[in-house]
Amino acid sequence: AVVDIGGGTTDIVVFQGSRARYTAVIPVGGFQFTNDICVAYSATYPGAEEVKLKYANADPFSVRVDEMVPLPSTGGPADRLVLRRDVCQLVRERSQELVNLVALKLREAALVDMAEMPLALTGGVANLPGLLDMTRFNGVRRPPNAHHSTRATIVPVQHPVHFQPQLFSYMGRVIRAGL
């Protein structure tokens, strides 16, 4: 399966053999992550986008409790400081929602056991620290130390923002391997 988390939507394609057998679109993407920061902090969109790209993490417990980040507000010329962990908690909540929706759509596809389904996570939000681990522990992927054997893998994509050439290369390997 390929899960492409784009700017406005998350697109899912499940392959069986060499054919796309299931597609779905979830109306959640990078825009919603940024907009959450805008709304919560009355921040400018460009400022919220910058904070998302530089400081966001889907695991707020991986950042220092007292770390502050600058965030331009819509009401004044000066940046204000906000707790990075609070920003990360907002991002975690949106990430959790998206991961749950992806898991739901993959179960909906019901073409193969999810444990047997290779997964390529692509798109700009795929670069979000902590997101990959969240997918492993929330129904999209089983943890790598599970007590049973599985071929399930998260396929690393070197540059998730520019995934299309990598997608074709990946699908060629999957087809040749008979997955």
Q: What is the pLDDT of residues 4-57, one digit of tens each?
A: 999 999 999 988 777 888 999 999 999 999 999 999 999 999 999 999 999 999
Mean pLDDT, residues 84-91 taken together: 98
- Find all residues with CB under 8 Å of 9, minimum gap 6, and list them: 25, 26, 27, 28, 29
57 within 8 A of 91, measured Cβ to Cβ: yes
Pairwise CA distance, residues 60 & 84, whole Å: 8
Structure tokens, 67 = 């770390």
Assess contact for 3 and 141: CB atoms under 8 A: no
Q: State residue 173's pLDDT score.
A: 61
Residue 69 pLDDT greater than 80, yes or no: yes
pTM over 0.75: yes
Band of the pLDDT at 1, cuts 50, 70, 90?
confident
State residue 142's pLDDT score: 36
The burial of 112, by beta-carbon neighbours within 10 Å (0-12 exposed, 13-18 middle, 19 or more buried), is given as middle
Calculate what percentage of the chain has a pLDDT beyond 70.
71
